Homo-oligomer: A and B are copies of this chain.
């Protein structure tokens, strides 16, 4: 994500009482991980292996997660937490499905790694929120 865009989002967040204490760099890392995961899942789904439906679900969930973090004006900490849980659960399932083919398919291996990275980034947002709450 562009640093100028991040600066602007940061200023917006400052004016939201519930969100003001969030560390923007943690959010930025999460949005970037969601975007990368959506892309990896989209490519992986075209292989038409058994993981494909999970990849399609994960691509949509990651895009919805990323956009929600870009529209914090229409979020609350509780909804954000609930969506992060759903995104983590979806990434875990997609990773598990892709790991079954990771030995034969480089794309599945890459997709599983993107899912793991997205889960980690979502958990980092959760950790930050629980510390500052």
CB distance from A133 to the nearest CB of B (A): 16
Report whether A79 and B90 are in contact in the complex, using a CB–CB cutoff of 8 Å. yes
Residue from the list B68, B74, B106 in contact with A4, Cβ < 8 A: B106
**Chain B contacts for A97, CB-based, 8 A:** 74
**Chain B contacts for A54, CB-based, 8 A:** 73-75
Chain A 95-124, CB-CB to B under 8 Å as 1, else 0, gives 001000000001100100000000000000
Does A27 have its Cβ within 8 Å of any Cβ on chain B?
Answer: no
Does A125 have its Cβ within 8 Å of any Cβ on chain B?
Answer: no
Report whether A67 and B76 are in contact in the complex, using a CB–CB cutoff of 8 Å. no
Does A8 have its Cβ within 8 Å of any Cβ on chain B?
Answer: yes
Most chain B CB within 10 A, of A8, A48, A73, is at A73
Chain A interface residues toward B at CB < 8 A: 1-2, 4-5, 8-9, 12, 31, 35-36, 39-40, 42-43, 45-46, 48-61, 63-64, 66-68, 70-76, 78-79, 82-83, 85-86, 89-90, 92-94, 97, 106-107, 110
User: How many identical chains are in the complex?
Assistant: 4
**Chain B contacts for A60, CB-based, 8 A:** 63-64, 67-68
Query: What residue of chain B has the Cβ atom nearest to residue A42's Cβ?
Result: B70
Alpha-carbon distance between A51 and B57 when the two chains are bound, in angstroms: 18
